[in-house]
Structures are given as C-alpha cells and as structure tokens.
C-alpha cells in the first residue's frame, strides 16, 4: 500500500477497520465525499484506506459519529518526517551549518589550473597572480577577469596573453 505523491507531501494516514464495519466505512466515504486511495483488504475481510491527514481527521470524527471503530495503521509523509527531525535538533543544526559551509565554499577559489605556459613556470605565474591579489583562497566576490588579466600582463613582461576563466571554484588560466 503506497500513498500518492500528493498524499506524501501533505501527509497521509492509513486507517483500517474490521470486516463487519468495512462496508459502513466505504459508505461513509461515499456519503461524505471523502476521497481515499490505496484501498486494500486482508484475508480476514478488514480493509485499509489511505487518506491525507486532513481527510483522515474528518473520517475519524465521522466514524465516531457512525459508530465505526478505526485503527491507525501508519502515519507518514512530510509532516511526520519534519516532526521527527525537529525532535533531533542536532540533525537540523548540522544540515543548516552544512548548507552555510557549502554556500561559503562556493565563493572561494579552491584550485588554479594553468595551461599553455612554455617558458614561464606555473609557480612564477601563481606568484604573479598572488602579487595582483588572486590565488587559492581568494574570494570570487567582486572578481573581474578583465581587470585581473590586465594587472597580470602589466606585472609580468614574460607573458604576452592571459585568459582567466572561472568554472565553479576552479580558476582556469591560459597563458602565452
């Protein structure tokens, strides 16, 4: 018995009743226009119906008026999941801190990859970039490749051309 995606998002409750009250429960749902899904029955004749949480509350109140005994088999979905998470604050705090760390880490240069250098070493190019204020650990906030490229060309006479491209947290540098 699987609830629909909509029932999972808004929350669901699976209710059951015994064989002698099964027809009355189905008649209650028909008379009150209460939608259900995932209908199943067992060998002893009892039935199980899956309702959204709101509809399950209405069914439980109406069943009490009609004298139909109901048993809650399972409650699930997003609201139940959130209730379980709230009871474990360490998971919530860890998830929030993880998202903050991920956001902060995506705004920093983690790697520099240099290609096209034939006469100038990678280390010399990295030192020139560092003298211009760009290196591993630099923030991408306010990063302007055209300005940095001009600064590097003015700082190092050995370079004739440089291109700095950002792909995620990696700076790809091409030189001639």
Distances from the Cα of 32 to the Cα of 13, 29, 58, 59, 93, angstroms: 18, 5, 9, 9, 44
Q: How far is Cα 122 from Cα 129, in angstroms, rounded to an integer?
A: 11
- pLDDT at residue 2, rounded to an integer: 76
What pLDDT sits at residue 1?
65
Residue 42 has what pLDDT? 83
Sorted by sequence, the CB contacts under 8 Å of residue 91 that are 6+ apart come out as 85
pLDDT for position 174 = 93
> In the chain, which residues have pLDDT < 50?
none
Model pTM? 0.56
Beta bridge partners of 37: 50
Q: What local confidence, expressed as pLDDT, does residue 11 receive?
A: 94
Query: What's the confidence (pLDDT) of residue 140?
Result: 84
Plot region of 81 (φ>0 → left; ψ -120 to 50 → alpha; else → beta): alpha
* pLDDT of the residue at 44: 85
- Tell me what pLDDT residue 119 has: 86
Tens digit of each residue's pLDDT (9 = 90 or more) over 148-167: 999 999 998 888 899 999 99
Taking alpha carbons only, the member of 129, 138, 124, 133 closest to residue 164 is 129
């Amino acid at each position: 018995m699987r609830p629909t995606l909509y029932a999972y998002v808004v929350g669901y409750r699976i209710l059951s009743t015994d064989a002698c009250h099964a027809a009355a429960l189905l008649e209650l749902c028909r008379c009150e226009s209460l939608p259900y899904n995932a209908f199943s029955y067992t060998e002893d004749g009892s039935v199980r119906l899956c309702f959204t949480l709101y509809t399950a509350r209405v069914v439980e109140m109406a069943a009490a008026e009609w004298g139909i005994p109901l048993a809650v088999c399972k409650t699930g979905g997003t609201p139940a999941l959130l209730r379980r998470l709230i009871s474990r604050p360490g998971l919530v705090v860890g998830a929030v801190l993880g998202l903050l760390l991920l956001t902060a880490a995506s705004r920093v240069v983690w790697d520099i990859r240099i290609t096209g250098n034939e006469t100038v070493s990678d280390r010399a190019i990295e030192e020139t970039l560092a003298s211009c204020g760009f290196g591993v650990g630099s923030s991408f906030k306010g990063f302007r490749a055209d300005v940095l490229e001009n600064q590097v060309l003015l700082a190092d006479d050995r370079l004739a051309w440089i291109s700095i491209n950002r792909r995620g947290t990696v700076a790809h540098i091409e030189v001639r």
